[in-house]
Amino acid sequence: MHILFLHGFAAGGAVWEPYRSEFPDARMPTLQCSGDGEPILPELDEPAILVGWSMGAMLAVELLRRQPQFVKGLVLVSSSPSFVVSDVFPEGKAPSAVRELRDAITKGDPKGLQGFQKQLFTAAEIRDGWLARFRLDIGPSLPTDPATLLAQLAFLENYRVPRELPAVPVTILHGGRDAIVDAAAVAAWRQLIPGAAARLVAEAGHALPFVRRDEVVAAIAALREACDA
């Protein structure tokens, strides 16, 4: 079963490279959005399991909506049905928080993205060196072009997961101390996808693909096995 990894905001396909050893044939594209936030999604041509982190999970759901004939399952990591407060996710970010980040990106103020990166990790994870490791190992591959970042942010501001989706197996993983996306997202997803398997990872933050890599790998492998059965 083909695996397609979809990255989060202010990131690129390279964030998934540590998973290459377990999933050598996986696709890990760097995704783009148009200036108004419309996602430019890859065309699927074979059955696939989609693994999305944060913004990438929303993109995975959108791919399911657009190309349901190819999507056999979803692993949604550290994400929600909408990024900002909405009827599908009342616990989303306040629009003012998005405006502050947009203003920082527009002005070229590095403190905006640096603050966002810091929120990916809990205080304990930062003390354990995960933020420093992220910036050292992943930092050089991250996009810095303001137009790219603002287009991704426009997607996050505007996107709402549809209330009706094609039925496929879904696994949800979320950190119990996620500072980017409130852990209430688990319940919001399960309202939209009643049959989804969900796990709240205690004491973990937003960066589950990095800090809890083994658990994410196990979730992908289990879903693939179920889809192959």
Domain CATH number, residue 149: 3.40.50.1820
Q: How many CB atoms lie within 10 A of CB 69?
A: 8
200: helix, strand or coil: strand
CB 25 within 8 A of CB 3: yes
Task: Please give the structure tokens belonging to residue 11.
Answer: 């990131």
The boundaries of the domain holding residue 21 are 2-228
* Number of structural domains found in the chain: 1
Cα 135 from Cα 42, distance rounded (Å) = 27
Q: What is the pLDDT of residue 13?
A: 93
Q: What is the pLDDT of residue 144?
A: 87
Residue-level pLDDT, tens digit, the chain, 229 residues: 899 999 999 999 999 999 999 999 999 999 999 988 999 999 999 999 999 999 999 999 999 999 999 999 999 999 999 999 999 999 999 999 999 999 999 999 999 999 999 999 999 999 999 999 999 999 898 988 999 999 999 999 999 999 999 999 999 999 999 999 999 999 999 999 999 999 999 999 999 999 999 999 999 999 999 888 7
The amino acid that residue 211 corresponds to is V
Q: What is the pLDDT of residue 228?
A: 84
Task: Please give the structure tokens belonging to residue 228.
Answer: 């192959």
Cα 77 from Cα 54, distance rounded (Å) = 6
Cα 113 from Cα 115, distance rounded (Å) = 5
Question: What is each CA distance from 107 to 110, 153, 158, 184, in whole angstroms?
Answer: 9, 15, 22, 32
pTM of the predicted model, to two decimals? 0.96
221: helix, strand or coil: helix
Cα 162 from Cα 229, distance rounded (Å) = 28
CA atoms within 13 A on the CB side of 215: 20
Per-residue H/E/C for 69-94 = CCEEEEEEECCCCCCECCCCCCCCEC
Cα 72 from Cα 51, distance rounded (Å) = 11
CB 69 within 8 A of CB 223: no
Cα 37 from Cα 55, distance rounded (Å) = 12
Q: What is the pLDDT of residue 1?
A: 81
Alpha helices in 52-198 (DSSP H): 55-66, 95-107, 110-119, 123-127, 130-137, 146-158, 185-192
> Residues for the chain: how many in total?
229
